[in-house]
Amino acid sequence: MESHRIIGGGGLGLSEAGPSATHHQHHHHVPTYGVLHGINTTNPSTLINEGHAFNFGELEEAIVLQGVKGRNDEGKAPLFTTAAAPPRPAATLDMFPSWPIRFHQTSRGGSKSGGESTDSALSTKTEPPFEAESPMSKKATTPSSLDHHDASRIIGPSSSSQAKSPHEKRKGAGSTSEKPLDAKTLRRLAQNREAARKSRLRKKAYVQQLESSRLKLTQLEQDLQRARSQGLFMDCGGVGGNLSSGAAMFDMEYARWLEEEQRVMGELRNGLQAPLSDGEMRGIVDGYLSHYDELFRLKAVAAKSDVFHLINGMWTSQAERCFLWIGGFRPSDLITMLIQQLEPLAEQQIMGMYGLRHSSQQAEDALSQGLDQLQQSLVDTIAGGPIVDGVQQMVVAMGKLANLEGFVRQADNLRQQTLHQLCRLLTVRQAARCFIVIGEYYGRLRALSSLWASRPRETLMSDDNNSCQTTTDLQMVQPSHHHHHHNHHHFPSF
Amino acid sequence: MQYQQSSASSSWSYYMTMRTRHHHAAEDDIAMDRVARLASESAVVIFTISTCCMCHAMKTLFCGMGVNPMIHELDLLPNGKQIERALMALLGGGGGGAVVPVVFIGGKLVGSMDRVLAFHINGSLVPLLKQAGALWL
């Protein structure tokens, strides 16, 4: 019995420890005892008796209900704990630790248990995330009808809020209001009222802050999408925050090259399907080779004006950038992929492919090591020696940087030679198939980058708090998603 | 060198330029001979500059293939400048950038990194090396 009483009282105490429960978690033990004592010693009669008998049954019911619902977080928020905010969005709601437990004065006849009224009222005003934290709001039966500027609450009804029927709650609520209230109880109630009021105000402020942040975020996202779509992505590496003219021009020409690629790919595909003669196929395959030759020519021009743009890969898609090697694709990786995709091949051809890959790897290693030495030399120059001569240092460093262009040009040269050699190793039709595979492969990487850029993101605000604003993000993503569709509509094979 | 305007001095200046050119030509011939000589001294000869990173890449490439090339660093040779000029002439202009690295295999000019990579990829570099005795099966 004693234990029951304490449970009931504990439930009472914990949730009723109004000010403390509302404000700080660590306080709620103290007033528990105070309240317990207060109840036990001063008014041992009806309040606790009825409360206890009343509470326990409904408490049990509530617990069972929670368990049945199977809601982990909320289920675990028993009435005992005033740190009622479920673990997940806990960080945001630590300010309101007494949720979902609430208690309210029963003088308002129709008033529900406080938790319900507060939570439900709040939940109508707040974002979906808040809904999650107040399990009782889910069960609220008369949510919005209540004025949430209620007077303070009492626990008895709060435990009953877990139960379904309003009738019982009313009874519970009513039972408290009908009893004579002594000074201590009055004071307690007043404190509760005050605490609840402060709590509400804090919550209001917080919600407003969140709202404004969200608006700002939406605007930022839109600006970003707009800027990206115009190809004027502001990255700090560029001159004056914009792309250099050489880089911008190359980007434009590259975009045109991509469109041309679709045309040439179409020619290849049609050529393979239609029974074209080998001679005609040869012409088409050579056309594809010239198409790539054109790209390398464009890159050579760009390397003269802005080698960093080529090296940092901003001209290419994100997924391609992932595999970037000195401003472009790595030939040996491409050959590895092709060896798999182009089966079946003649023995001699396979040997040839492996040999090509080996040669390419040797060349790649040599160029990579040369570049490493360049970087090291640059570091030594910039770091400076014992005597730092600023101008001289810069002049030397500039001279070293100029070598970068040479490396990018040699890397492109390697890529170009590899493609030509592939053509020589294969028959005409095999070469056509090979180029179709290459074109599709990079096309898929570009499509992947597109999808990745427009994926719904859940962690936009994760730095500030742990709230998940997935619904918001999905809404914001829509425009960009459409935009990407628009931009990449010419990859029909995907 | 200041060129004077009078006809007498112009012929003098003409004489001077011719003399300088001839002087250079003589030096260049000497340098050219030297290049030819150095190139035949070893199966694989590479002319480099010690601080040049592309030269480092070239060295790495050949060493990676198991070749042991003879390296001549122009900035450490007494007549390095002339040799560089000779190489530039051999390569046909050489472009705006540095002329090095320059590779000779079996005494014959192969070229700069451009050509070496092209030969390597199209599979003709290794036979060339074997022919010159720089690589064995």
**What residues of A are in contact with residue B129 (Cβ under 8 Å)?**
none
Arithmetic mean of pLDDT, A79-103: 48
Distance from CA of A413 to the nearest CA of B (A): 7
Residue B78 has pLDDT above 70, yes or no: yes
Count of beta carbons in the 10 Å neighbourhood of residue A164: 15
Q: How many CB pairs under 8 A join A and B?
A: 72
Residue B23 has pLDDT above 70, yes or no: no
Do residue A377 and residue B121 have CB atoms under 8 angstroms apart? no
Distance from CA of B56 to the nearest CA of A (A): 5
Do residue B117 and residue A362 have CB atoms under 8 angstroms apart? no
Q: How confident is the model at residue A450 (pLDDT cuts 50, 70, 90)?
A: very high
**What residues of A are in contact with residue B121 (Cβ under 8 Å)?**
356, 359-360, 363, 414, 417-418, 421
Distance from CA of B40 to the nearest CA of A (A): 25
Arithmetic mean of pLDDT, A396-413: 93
pTM as predicted: 0.56
Distance from CA of A307 to the nearest CA of B (A): 15
Arithmetic mean of pLDDT, A259-271: 93
Do residue B56 and residue A359 have CB atoms under 8 angstroms apart? no
Do residue B121 and residue A365 have CB atoms under 8 angstroms apart? no
**What residues of A are in contact with residue B60 (Cβ under 8 Å)?**
365-366, 369-370
pLDDT tens digit string along A325-354?
999 999 999 999 999 998 889 999 999 999
Residue with tokens 């391609």: A320
pLDDT tens digit string along A200-237?
999 999 999 999 999 999 888 888 887 776 655 444 44
Residue A370 has pLDDT above 80, yes or no: yes
Q: How confident is the model at residue A94 (pLDDT cuts 50, 70, 90)?
A: low
Do residue B121 and residue A363 have CB atoms under 8 angstroms apart? yes
For residue A482, what pLDDT is reported?
45
Do residue A359 and residue B121 have CB atoms under 8 angstroms apart? yes
Give the residue on A whose Cα is nearest the Cα of B66. Answer: A362
Arithmetic mean of pLDDT, A183-193: 92
Among chain A, residues having any CB pair with chain B shorter than 8 Å are 355-356, 359-360, 362-363, 365-367, 369-371, 373-374, 377, 400, 403, 406-407, 410, 413-414, 417-418, 420-421, 424
Give the residue on A whose Cα is nearest the Cα of B55. Answer: A370
Do residue B120 and residue A421 have CB atoms under 8 angstroms apart? no
**What residues of A are in contact with residue B52 (Cβ under 8 Å)?**
403
Distance from CA of A407 to the nearest CA of B (A): 7
Q: Listing from the earlier edge strand, what are the strands of the sheet with B108-111?
A: B70-73, B44-48, B102-105, B108-111
Return d(Cα B85, Cα A69) in angstroms, integer: 88
Give the residue on A whose Cα is nearest the Cα of B114. Answer: A410
Do residue A413 and residue B114 have CB atoms under 8 angstroms apart? yes
Do residue B57 and residue A360 have CB atoms under 8 angstroms apart? no
Query: Shortest CB distance from B60 goes to which of A366, A400, A417?
Result: A366
Residue A121 has pLDDT above 50, yes or no: no
Return d(Cα A330, Cα A342) in angstroms, integer: 18
Query: Shortest CB distance from B54 goes to which of A363, A403, A414?
Result: A403
Distance from CA of A421 to the nearest CA of B (A): 6
Predicted ipTM? 0.83
Q: What percent of chain A has pLDDT over 90?
A: 41
Arithmetic mean of pLDDT, A152-163: 44
Do residue B53 and residue A374 have CB atoms under 8 angstroms apart? yes
Arithmetic mean of pLDDT, A227-251: 66
Do residue B123 and residue A355 have CB atoms under 8 angstroms apart? yes
For residue A19, what pLDDT is reported?
45
Do residue A362 and residue B121 have CB atoms under 8 angstroms apart? no
Q: How confident is the model at residue A179 (pLDDT cuts 50, 70, 90)?
A: low
Do residue B54 and residue A421 have CB atoms under 8 angstroms apart? no
Query: Shortest CB distance from A366 goes to which of B61, B118, B125?
Result: B61
Give the residue on B whose Cα is nearest the Cα of A362. Answer: B61
pLDDT tens digit string along A289-325?
999 999 999 999 999 999 999 999 999 999 999 999 9
Distance from CA of B4 to the nearest CA of A (A): 37
For residue B3, what pLDDT is reported?
44
For residue A58, what pLDDT is reported?
56
Q: How confident is the model at residue A275 (pLDDT cuts 50, 70, 90)?
A: confident
**Best mutation target, B121, B122, B128, to test chain A (most A CBs within 10 A):** B121
For residue B99, what pLDDT is reported?
87
Give the residue on A whose Cα is nearest the Cα of B58. Answer: A366
Do residue B61 and residue A413 have CB atoms under 8 angstroms apart? no
Return d(Cα A414, Cα A327) in angstroms, integer: 12
